A = this chain, B = another copy of it.
Amino acid sequence: MRLFDARTVRDALDALKKSLGNIPVKCEEVPLLPALNRVLAEDVYSSEDIPAFDRSTVDGYAVMARDTFGAGESIPALLKVVGEIRMGERPEVSLKPGQAMKISTGGMLPEGSDAVVMLEYTQQFDDGTLVIERPVAPGENVIFRGEDVKKGSLVLPKGHTLRPQDLAALAGIGRQKLKVAVPPVVAVISTGDEIRPPGEKIKPGEIRDMNTYSLAAQVQKWGGIPRPYGVVRDDFDELCKVMVEALANSDMVVLSGGSSVGTRDLTVKVIESLGEPGVVVHGLAVKPGKPTILGAVMGRPVVGLPGHPVSAMVIFELVVRPLIFAMLGRPANYGGIKVRARIARNIASAAGREDFIRVKLEERDGELWAKPILGKSGLISTMVESDGLARIPPEKLGVGEGEYIEVELY
């Protein structure tokens, strides 16, 4: 299925995924700490109860809660202290009615006890008598066996991106290695006769390559490994040669640059020449970003982004990011944090077109306002000044000042 009219991003991605077929998630095993921010490639179940025993959460005395019922300052409960629990060890005796054992935070409750009285609410006499002036409820100041993680329960699902607390939980259940997705390698190619690498002196009419840096950094930000191929001239043979090398050494190719008709036509011709199905989508109903090309060659996605640096970054988020996520097995809704804000001025939009407005967020009277940063999509400074992108959905003809919109933060 080829779509040559400007289509919605969803239609375009669906068409591309259809021609790519199943996108497999490659896996590898890594130790816990390097797994931060990686995507789980297995459902992790616990083979144990955490904690493996009833555990005190305070310093005090392990008791049977019912021995303390009704205790108060005038009628304290009097218990017999029968020992002290050593940290990291199983108590040697079990508790009988009328007895208590000294326990530290994290200590294992003796059999028979079901609560801990905090040290502050007790007094111990030399003869071993403990005076308790407040009752405790069963379970008070105790983490019961399996209360944190139950044996057999799902701790974290496949596709989850690992945060610090997740690594802690996995350490808690004794995992030392995890199956995670292998980051896809994404080739990044800039094209255009007027584009020069940042190290070179530029002549009038030339500008420096910016897209390689924003796009490679976006690849990295979203979990891929960027492989930059630098700047390629608008030349069929030269671009073909670099594309063949890029396709052989990566999981996806992202081109940008040359937003003129000539360069776009060249990109299309090169993609078509490299194999079936070639170009699948040409043109998106998105502003900025209309002149986008989606193709598939050798089972790998090839994305021709518009040349303007803002358009290239926006379309990367809409098109390349979901493809990286698919290769990582990450849910499509993962990503930038979305906040609700009120738009600070009227913005017009065409029907049937998705618009993305760069906005700066401001708080006014406890409410979040999104101030559009207007300016041509060739101005990278508008991305630098803004905090996120506000979306105007295709069915809307614009938004009015004060209207609520959704902003995805960078």
Interface residues of A (CB under 8 A from B): 32-33, 36, 50-53, 55, 57, 59, 86-91, 104-108, 119, 143, 147-149, 155-156, 163-176, 192-195, 198-199, 202-218, 220-221, 226, 228, 234, 258-262, 307-309, 313, 337, 339-340, 366, 368, 376-381, 383-384, 404, 409-410
Contacts and interface: CB of A to CB of B under 8 A. Distances in A.
Contact of A87 (B91, B156, B175, B260): B260
A171 B209 contact: yes
A69 to B, nearest CB: 22
Given A53-B204, A165-B313, 6 more contacts: A53-B205, A57-B308, A87-B193, A88-B205, A119-B261, A164-B218
B260 A104 contact: yes
Given A174-B208, A309-B168, A33 B106 contact: no
A88 B206 contact: yes
A261 B192 CA distance: 68
B216 A33 contact: yes
Contact of A172 (B50, B207, B410): B207
Nearest to A317: B164
Contacts of A143: 376, 378-379
Nearest to A108: B205
Contact of A217 (B104, B167, B308): B167
B52 A207 contact: yes
A213 B366 contact: no
Nearest to A257: B106
Contacts of A228: 33
B307 A105 contact: yes
A149 B381 contact: yes
Contacts of A206: 52, 88
B90 A220 contact: no
* Best-buried of A164, A168, A313 by chain B (most CB within 10 Å): A168
Given A143-B378, A217-B36, A104 B261 contact: yes
A87 B192 contact: yes
Contacts of A167: 213-214, 217
A175 to B, nearest CB: 7
A175 B378 CA distance: 19
B383 A108 contact: no
A49 to B, nearest CB: 11
A53 B376 CA distance: 16
B171 A210 contact: yes
Contact of A221 (B164, B170, B379, B383): B164
* Best-buried of A51, A90, A170, A383 by chain B (most CB within 10 Å): A51
Given A148-B381, A260-B105, A213 B170 contact: yes
Nearest to A312: B168
B380 A168 contact: yes
* Best-buried of A59, A206, A258, A262 by chain B (most CB within 10 Å): A206
Contact of A410 (B107, B165, B208): B165
Contacts of A404: 366
B104 A211 contact: no
Nearest to A233: B88
Contacts of A214: 164-165, 167-168
A175 B340 CA distance: 36
A33 B380 contact: no
B337 A205 contact: no
* Best-buried of A105, A108, A163, A410 by chain B (most CB within 10 Å): A105
